[in-house]
């Protein structure tokens, strides 16, 4: 009789232990989902509205974007010239509120001695320009309200502007 009670006791303890382990795993999973939802709610999302002589950006996310910058655009050519240029942003946006639009002007930098010292950026960068040649990547950097860094990797091609990837690097 004592053996049966001992066996039942062990079975009940094993089932209780299994339930506690299952509950712990589920709680951990739910906590991760909750953290992701909170992160999404504080994530600014920068969209490109227009590309021409400047790059017009709009924050379509759910919180302000801080210190918005664009990485240099490397090795661009145009149909009407064989010369190659890098384009660098000559300004940044310190604060871009939700729904707000602002532009960042870009400046060409010749990769070799060039007859074109200050070309119009439009044929090099705007996919709607008839002289646009090939696709390129654009990286937009900003910070969220918790000072975490966000990088948006965008592909610009004749078909349009495509968001390839968003990286969120939490503040440590």
Residues 130 and 118 in one domain: yes
Structure tokens at 127: 């996919």
The CATH number linked to 74 is: 2.60.40
**What is the spatial distance between Cα 15 and Cα 96, in angstroms, rounded to a whole number?**
54
Structure confidence by residue, pLDDT tens digits, 142-153: 999 888 899 999
Structure tokens at 72: 């240099």
Residues 30 and 99 in one domain: no
| Residue 86 bridge partners (DSSP) | 109
Q: What is the pLDDT along the chain (172 residues), one digit of tens a residue?
A: 788 888 999 999 999 999 999 999 999 999 999 988 887 788 899 999 999 888 999 999 989 999 999 999 887 876 766 777 888 888 999 999 999 999 999 888 776 655 555 678 888 888 988 888 888 999 999 999 888 899 999 999 988 899 999 898 877 6
Q: What is the pLDDT of residue 57?
A: 96
Residues 84 and 29 in one domain: no
Residues 29 and 3 in one domain: yes
Question: Domain total for the chain?
Answer: 2
Range of the domain at 26: 1-41
Q: What is the pLDDT of residue 48?
A: 94
Q: What is the pLDDT of residue 34?
A: 93
Q: What is the pTM assigned to this prediction?
A: 0.77
Residues 8 and 64 in one domain: no
**What is the spatial distance between Cα 72 and Cα 91, in angstroms, rounded to a whole number?**
12
Q: What is the pLDDT of residue 149?
A: 93
**What is the spatial distance between Cα 32 and Cα 137, in angstroms, rounded to a whole number?**
32
**Nearest alpha carbon to residue 51 among 1, 129, 126:** 126
């Amino acid at each position: 009789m004592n053996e049966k009670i001992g066996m039942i006791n062990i079975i009940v303890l094993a089932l209780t232990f299994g339930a506690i382990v299952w509950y712990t795993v589920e709680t951990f999973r739910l906590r991760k989902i909750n953290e992701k939802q909170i992160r999404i709610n504080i994530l600014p999302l920068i969209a490109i509205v227009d590309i021409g002589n400047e790059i017009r950006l709009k924050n379509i996310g759910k919180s302000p974007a801080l210190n918005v910058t664009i990485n240099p655009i490397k090795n661009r050519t145009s149909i009407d010239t064989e010369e190659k240029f890098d384009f660098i942003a000559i300004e940044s946006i310190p604060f871009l509120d939700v729904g707000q639009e602002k532009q960042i002007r870009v400046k060409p930098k010749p990769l070799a001695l060039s007859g074109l010292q200050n070309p119009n950026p439009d044929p090099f960068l705007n996919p709607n320009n008839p002289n646009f040649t090939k696709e390129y990547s654009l990286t937009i950097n900003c910070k969220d309200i918790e000072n975490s860094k966000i990088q948006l990797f965008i592909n610009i091609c004749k078909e349009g502007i495509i968001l390839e990837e968003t990286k969120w690097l939490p503040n440590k």
